[in-house]
A and B are shown apart, each in its own frame.
Chain A
Amino acid sequence: MLPGVQVGQPVAHRLAYLWRAPAWGRPLLVERSSWDRCRRGLSIEGNDVVEFFEATLNWPSWLAWTAVALIQCFLLINLVAGGALFFIWLERKVAGRIQDRLGPTRVGGKFGWLQTLADGIKLLAKEDIVPKEADPFLFRMAPYVSFTASFCGWLALPFADNWVGQRLNVAVFFIVAIVGLEVFGVILAGYASGSKWSLFGAMREAAQVVSYEVPLGLCIVVPVMIAGSMDLVTIGNKQAGYFTNWFIFHDPAAFVVFWVYFTCAVASVNRAPFDLAEAESELVAGFHTEYSGLRWSFFFMAEYGSMLLVSALAAILFFGGWHGPFPIISQGLVPALAAMTGASVDSPVLVYLANLAGCANLIFKAVIGVTVMMWVRWTLPRLRIDQVLTTCLKYCVPLAALCFLAEVWFQLYPHTNPMPLNRLQWGAPRASIEVREGWLPLSPVSPDDVQEAQLTHSQEHRG
């Protein structure tokens, strides 16, 4: 597990390997123009689409960046909105089947697949009401705050190798921090509605989300520790190969911590059985009691967006991300195609095809996660608020902390890892991943190295 570490090395060196980090190998593979982009702070990696606009179409740099930003926003918004359309339909079907009925069947011919669209049109036509007791400014802002928070998390989520809105070095941390902000809109909505039901719902939600952030944060540390990086692209690529390389099968601690993560994720996106904020049997509809029409639907888009987000995060952290259970695409199809057409394995078209398959793979896994959340919702009764907090503080936090410690143990003493699948190492990750990620050098970076890098860079420019 820890290449390069020998017995008898000083503690500091072992520590350095334990917290091995992705940053140092990068300049080897970063393209020429991203050296300049580095100055922009946000974009460390080069962006292929920007390259295309700049080099092929001869667009000025600012136009290329704007176009790419707009395209990415368009795709992500459509993913969230289209996802909400699909999931609301799916939820009705799942709920129907679980309750032994059919769910929607009529709208749009078979399966009632246009039901959500019909609902959407109905919502658009509804009157937009602001109650007299409400705080009008905050009442109007709250749905947007909720939706924005849910949407922002998608910016850092990769869909395939390097298919990501903004590749962040701290992507996992960023997404978890952003998901927690969704509750802000809910609290504002609850307060601004001027209704006791809403206020009760919002207060419950605040208590719940603030407490569940703690175990959630502890849970994500475990896969981060296995991968040695908080970069989701790196974490996903570490699980290439057969499904035995997925982090959930890495060791017992990771296996246990996934279930804790899933529980906490369900709680942090306010799904049943943790949906106390909108407990309809006690609070009418909780924080969105006073909302109608499009504002109301914004809350639901935020909820389904967050569900898909935490499921996709679980897929990347524990289930191999964009890598399938068997490396059919990357080790079977792509080399075969390459042999047939005579192209290299790294040719842009083949890489694009492999990434497209990976993207479909990731979304499929995320949809499965969302479906399980629905299954749980229509199966389990709602918990009381004290039971919710007990689940968090007495079970999830200690369990997550224990898994964290166990993971530290398995990282320091990998030979004690009892998980048999981990020893197989079928279809081990491609060598290029190791190169791309790089390892932390144990010698300090001297100014000479930097100078040399800059020299190479200027030579590249001239050539």
Chain B
Amino acid sequence: MIGAVIDWSAFLFYLFAAVACGFALAVVLSNHIVHMAFYLTLALGATAGLFLLTGSQFVGAMQFMIYVGGTLVLLVFGVMLTAQHRFVSIRTRAGEWITAAVLGGALLMLLGYVAWAVPDWHAAPPAHVPPEQVESTSRLGLALTGVRMDGGSGYALPFVIVSVHLLVVLIGAGYLARARVRVSDAAARKEMP
């Protein structure tokens, strides 16, 4: 039966996985910064699809909103900081490529081995999962306010720490990137009529 072969959830997994891995490799191999940002967006978007497939809808939407949106800003910076020579790319030497390929291949083999080394990790998944175990958005929200329904510890303190961290980063990034009036600019401005 062909029906036994075509399992759409598996098909979607392989599709998203192929897009994510393929474009992640494209990011590595490309030398054009704007192309890289485009590929990165596709890879991150496919990862969001993977998150949705595992039932983590909130994390998937969050990935779309923050990660992919964050890459957008990366893209803008890529355009801004390379705008004067548009197609000039900063190239990597061939020796570095070879070293990186050997080390990366070794790391990939190690991680791939580990991924399949534990039998419990590729045992058959549970046949029936009640929907209330899958839908996690409300539980996520409650856990972030410190209330856990399943007896685990809440995340109110990490949440607060992260918020303060974000505030600090906001101010710090603004401070680092603020437009400073250079001496020559100021002098030039003074000479202007």
Real complex partners, A and B?
yes
Q: Which residues of chain B from 2 to 31 have a CB within 8 Å of any chain A CB?
A: 2-3, 6-9, 12
Interface residues on A, range: 35 or more
Q: Which residues of chain A from 165 to 203 have a CB within 8 Å of any chain B CB?
A: 168-170, 173-174, 176-178, 180-181, 183-184, 187-188, 191-192, 194, 199, 202-203
The answer to whether A138 and B38 have CB atoms under 8 Å apart is yes
**Contact residues in B for A440 (Cβ distance below 8 Å):** 138, 142
A7: interface (CB < 8 Å): no
B83: interface (CB < 8 Å): yes
- Cα-based distance from A454 to B132 in the complex (angstroms): 12
Point out which of B65, B87, B131, B137 has the most chain A C-beta atoms below 10 A from its C-beta.
Answer: B131
Query: Closest CB-CB distance, B138 to chain A, in whole Å?
Result: 3
**Contact residues in A for B83 (Cβ distance below 8 Å):** 199
Query: Closest CB-CB distance, B135 to chain A, in whole Å?
Result: 4
A444: interface (CB < 8 Å): yes
The answer to whether A15 and B147 have CB atoms under 8 Å apart is yes
The answer to whether A63 and B86 have CB atoms under 8 Å apart is no
- Cα-based distance from A41 to B16 in the complex (angstroms): 14
B68: interface (CB < 8 Å): yes
A23: interface (CB < 8 Å): yes
CB-nearest residue of chain A to B64: A177
Query: Closest CB-CB distance, A275 to chain B, in whole Å?
Result: 19
Point out which of B1, B7, B69, B87 has the most chain A C-beta atoms below 10 A from its C-beta.
Answer: B69
- Cα-based distance from A24 to B142 in the complex (angstroms): 13
In terms of DSSP, what is the predominant structure of the interface of chain B? helix
Interface residues on B, range: 35 or more
The answer to whether A62 and B3 have CB atoms under 8 Å apart is yes
**Contact residues in A for B192 (Cβ distance below 8 Å):** none
Query: Closest CB-CB distance, B12 to chain A, in whole Å?
Result: 8
The answer to whether A19 and B142 have CB atoms under 8 Å apart is yes
In terms of DSSP, what is the predominant structure of the interface of chain A? helix
- Pick the contact of A19: B69, B145, B151 (CB < 8 A): B145
Query: Closest CB-CB distance, B44 to chain A, in whole Å?
Result: 11
- Cα-based distance from A19 to B145 in the complex (angstroms): 10
Given A60-B3, A194-B86, A210-B73, residue A16 in contact with residue B147 (CB < 8 A):
yes
Given contacts A39-B125, A41-B9, A440-B138, list 20 more A-B pairs with CB under 8 A: A12-B146, A24-B132, A26-B131, A27-B130, A34-B131, A40-B9, A41-B55, A42-B52, A42-B53, A62-B2, A138-B38, A168-B61, A173-B62, A174-B57, A184-B72, A187-B76, A192-B34, A206-B76, A444-B150, A445-B132
Q: What would be 24 A-B contacts, judged by CB atoms less than 8 Å apart?
A: A22-B138, A23-B132, A26-B132, A26-B135, A38-B134, A39-B9, A60-B1, A60-B2, A137-B35, A141-B38, A169-B135, A169-B137, A170-B57, A173-B62, A174-B60, A174-B61, A178-B64, A181-B72, A188-B75, A199-B83, A202-B79, A203-B76, A444-B151, A445-B150
By a beta-carbon cutoff of 8 Å, the part of chain A in contact with chain B is: 12, 15-16, 19-24, 26-27, 30, 34-36, 38-42, 44, 60-63, 65-66, 135, 137-138, 141, 168-170, 173-174, 176-178, 180-181, 183-184, 187-188, 191-192, 194, 199, 202-203, 206, 210, 213, 230, 440, 444-445, 450, 453-454, 457
